[in-house]
């Protein structure tokens, strides 16, 4: 009997535990479980703020939808910065990162309805990836329309100004036609004017001892031919890395990012870039991937792969693998952002053990027409990170109040520098600068110092909440320590390759108005086909075979979906007369 009783109780426990995971989450249930304040209904918003505009300790969650995680203070509620923001607004936002594909995460959230209060995600414009998902979410009722609320939040309104964002971005992506006049997107990390535009310092970088050993002035390398000659000489010299192993000649970071630096000299000096549009000899709009330029630039990469110059693993390797290759001086050349390359060397302490291996820039290589290399920018950003508010946002007013505060000069200063007298001081121009103690720490170990500052709430929030970025105008530096402790080489490189603005209306801004736009998108901009073709070409055994693969892709573009792309080009030619400020 006892046996029976025991077995029946065991079965009951098993059955109950199997069923326990099947309940549906009610809004705010996860917060309730974690002992937090339960989420309020959207309808409660109006009553949740006090008469002075402050909220009564509202806690919100922001999902930072960027693959790779988001390091924060270990206690996001009790730290100097969070407490000060709470003092001003009554709101605390807790951030959470992701370690998976951004598109996949967004899809899962919007499809399941299990969404946080605020989301920050990539919104590069156009029809693919994250942008497509966010547009679908907006059009299908998953996001809150903030159009009418924006009037109360001056600092946020600045993110919509033309000049901070481009007209093309505003018309096609922020005011996406299927949104039917609603505003779901708050552009983030948009620089107000050229001086506030982030210079990403892209380029090709070479290990310092290589040009010296070869007797080449790396700063004079401006063309593809010169770069190729340099790469071949480096390959044949027999350099070794810090461990005495053979070297890889040229590499990139994750999945080939950014091997386009090697063919910089094939890129036209235009806003639409090397995969964009141009006016051909017949004065008709043409598309660069359909031309010989496209074939030639990819054949150049084929040559680099085929001649054991470009790292064959680079098309699939991870950032961690690239860090190892660069950090140990195994890769003689690397194409990426300068900061990324330097970070790899800091991970291994390469410059301490082998100061002669300090990576320096090559060229920079010129544009196709011989123009000096710059980072091109239109009248404003034409794609950016974006903040959106899902319909599950428990308190939209609190969310906007918080964002409005951290976008003020005072709030931004607090997030970037911390508390005056504790972490920073004002210089004689009234600009905030980290104090001597922290600056010395930073010069010694960047990463460790950032980690320590994070515990005070300093240095991590602003990157995902600052919308119209005016930091250069406000303080003369974009990031803390930049003026005093930014790597001098990066600083110099940014001067060598500055940001350049091209005024006018980018011609690709009219493309979404084309009747067969979706059909063109399906073949030309769906995201994987071009990559598949070109990377296959890089590994072809002969140049003829590689050329054939690239030409097959061009044929696919010309004929796919009943010739929708050539039809688009004809239509664009017809549109040329409709406005006089088109630029390519």
Among 83, 104, 195, 552, binds another protein (CB under 8 A): 104
Token pair recorded at residue 80: 């100097």
Restricting to residues 303-342, name those near another protein by CB under 8 A. 311-313, 315-316, 325, 330
In the complex, minimum distance from the CB of residue 141 to another protein, in angstroms, rounded to a whole number: 4
Three-class secondary structure of residue 508 per DSSP: helix
Q: What is the rounded end-to-end Cα distance, in angstroms, of the chain? A: 86
Site string for another protein, 113-132 (x = CB under 8 A): x--------------xx--x
The neighbouring-strand residues paired with 62 are: 95, 118
Helices (H), 127-206: 129-139, 154-157, 167-169
Three-class secondary structure of residue 207 per DSSP: strand
Among 49, 76, 79, 103, binds another protein (CB under 8 A): 103
The angle formed by the CA atoms of residues 340, 343 and 349, to the nearest 5 degrees, is 150
User: Contact 432/414 with Cβ under 8 angstroms?
Assistant: no
CA dist 491 to 108, 365, 486, 551, Å? 41, 18, 7, 41
Q: Residues touching another protein: how many (CB under 8 A)? A: 46
Taking the C-alpha atoms of residue 445 and residue 488, their distance in angstroms, rounded to an integer, is 15
- Which residue stretch of 8-16, 148-156, 282-290, 493-501 sits at the interface with another protein (rule: CB under 8 A)? 8-16
Q: Which is nearer to another protein, 330 or 335 (CB)?
A: 330
- Closest C-alpha among 262, 263, 302, 270 to residue 286: 270
Q: Which is nearer to another protein, 407 or 534 (CB)?
A: 534
Q: Which is nearer to another protein, 298 or 377 (CB)?
A: 298
In the complex, minimum distance from the CB of residue 581 to another protein, in angstroms, rounded to a whole number: 34
Q: Which is nearer to another protein, 410 or 526 (CB)?
A: 526
Q: Which is nearer to another protein, 19 or 151 (CB)?
A: 19
- Which residue stretch of 140-148, 178-186, 211-219, 374-382 sits at the interface with another protein (rule: CB under 8 A)? 140-148
In the complex, minimum distance from the CB of residue 3 to another protein, in angstroms, rounded to a whole number: 9
Q: Which is nearer to another protein, 108 or 214 (CB)?
A: 108
- Closest C-alpha among 185, 180, 187, 186 to residue 139: 180
- Which residue stretch of 46-54, 134-142, 265-273, 573-581 sits at the interface with another protein (rule: CB under 8 A)? 134-142
Task: Tell me: does residue 435 bind another protein (CB under 8 A).
Answer: no
The neighbouring-strand residues paired with 433 are: 425
Restricting to residues 244-283, name those near another protein by CB under 8 A. 245-246, 248
Task: Tell me: does residue 2 bind another protein (CB under 8 A).
Answer: no
Taking the C-alpha atoms of residue 202 and residue 259, their distance in angstroms, rounded to an integer, is 11
* Phi, psi at 505, each rounded to 5°: -100, 115
In the complex, minimum distance from the CB of residue 282 to another protein, in angstroms, rounded to a whole number: 31
Site string for another protein, 539-558 (x = CB under 8 A): x-------------------
Among 170, 538, 582, 584, binds another protein (CB under 8 A): 538
Task: Tell me: does residue 1 bind another protein (CB under 8 A).
Answer: no
Contacts 24+ apart (CB under 8 A), 555-562: 556/523, 556/529, 557/287, 557/289, 557/290, 557/523, 557/524, 558/290, 560/522, 560/523, 560/524, 561/516, 561/519, 561/520, 561/522, 561/523, 562/519
Query: Which residues make up the interface to another protein (CB under 8 A)?
Result: 4, 7-8, 11-12, 14-15, 17-19, 22, 101, 103-104, 106-107, 110-111, 113, 128-129, 132-133, 136-137, 140-142, 245-246, 248, 311-313, 315-316, 325, 330, 526-528, 532, 535-536, 538-539
């Amino acid at each position: 009997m006892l046996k029976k009783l025991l077995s029946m109780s065991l079965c009951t426990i098993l059955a109950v535990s199997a069923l326990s995971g099947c309940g549906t989450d009610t809004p705010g249930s996860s917060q309730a479980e974690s002992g937090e304040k339960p989420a309020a209904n959207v309808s409660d918003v109006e009553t949740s703020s006090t008469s002075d505009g402050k909220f009564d300790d509202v806690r919100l969650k922001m999902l930072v939808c960027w693959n790779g995680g988001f390091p924060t203070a270990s206690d996001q509620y009790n730290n100097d910065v969070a407490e000060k923001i709470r003092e001003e607004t009554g709101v605390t936002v807790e951030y959470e990162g992701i370690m998976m594909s951004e598109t996949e995460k967004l899809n899962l959230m919007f499809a399941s309805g299990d969404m946080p209060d605020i989301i920050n995600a990539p919104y590069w414009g156009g029809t693919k990836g994250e942008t497509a998902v966010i547009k679908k979410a907006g059009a299908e009722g998953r996001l809150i329309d903030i159009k009418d609320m924006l009037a109360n939040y001056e600092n946020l309104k600045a993110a919509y100004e033309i000049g901070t964002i481009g007209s093309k971005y505003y018309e096609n992506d922020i005011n996406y036609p299927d949104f039917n006049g609603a505003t779901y997107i708050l552009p983030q990390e948009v620089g107000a004017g050229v001086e506030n535009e982030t210079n990403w310092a892209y380029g090709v970088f070479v290990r310092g001892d290589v040009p010296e050993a070869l007797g080449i002035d790396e700063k004079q390398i401006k063309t593809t031919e010169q770069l190729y000659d340099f790469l071949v000489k480096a390959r044949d010299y027999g350099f070794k890395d810090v461990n005495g192993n053979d070297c890889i000649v040229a590499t990139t970071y994750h999945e080939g990012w950014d091997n386009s630096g090697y063919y910089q000299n094939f890129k036209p000096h235009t806003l639409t870039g090397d995969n964009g549009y141009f006016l051909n000899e017949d004065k008709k709009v043409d598309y660069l991937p359909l031309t010989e330029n496209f074939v030639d630039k990819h054949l150049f990469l084929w040559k680099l792969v085929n001649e054991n110059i470009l790292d064959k693993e680079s098309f699939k390797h991870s950032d961690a693998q690239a860090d190892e290759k660069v950090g140990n001086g195994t890769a003689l050349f690397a194409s990426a952002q300068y900061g990324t390359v330097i970070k790899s060397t800091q991970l291994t302490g390469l410059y301490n053990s082998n100061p002669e291996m300090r990576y320096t820039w090559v060229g920079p290589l010129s544009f196709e027409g011989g123009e000096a290399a710059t980072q091109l920018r239109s009248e404003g950003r034409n794609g950016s990170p974006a903040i959106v508010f899902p319909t599950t946002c428990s308190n939209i007013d609190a969310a906007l109040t918080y964002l409005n505060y951290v976008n003020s000069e005072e709030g931004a200063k607090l997030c970037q520098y911390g508390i005056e007298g504790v972490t920073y001081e004002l210089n004689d121009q009234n600009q905030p600068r980290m104090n001597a103690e922290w600056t010395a720490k930073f010069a010694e170990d960047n990463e460790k110092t950032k980690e320590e500052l994070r515990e005070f709430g300093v240095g991590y929030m602003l990157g995902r909440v600052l919308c119209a970025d005016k930091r250069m105008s406000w303080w003369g530096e974009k990031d803390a320590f930049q003026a005093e402790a930014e790597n001098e080489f990066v600083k110099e490189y940014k001067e060598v390759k500055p940001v350049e603005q091209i005024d006018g209306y980018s011609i690709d801004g009219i493309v979404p108005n084309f009747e067969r736009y979706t059909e063109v998108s399906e073949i030309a901009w769906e995201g994987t086909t071009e990559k598949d073709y070109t990377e296959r070409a890089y590994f072809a055994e002969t140049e003829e075979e590689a050329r054939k693969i690239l030409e097959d892709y061009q044929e696919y573009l010309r004929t796919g979906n009943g010739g929708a792309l050539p039809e688009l080009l004809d239509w664009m030619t017809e549109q040329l007369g409709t406005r006089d400020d088109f630029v390519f």
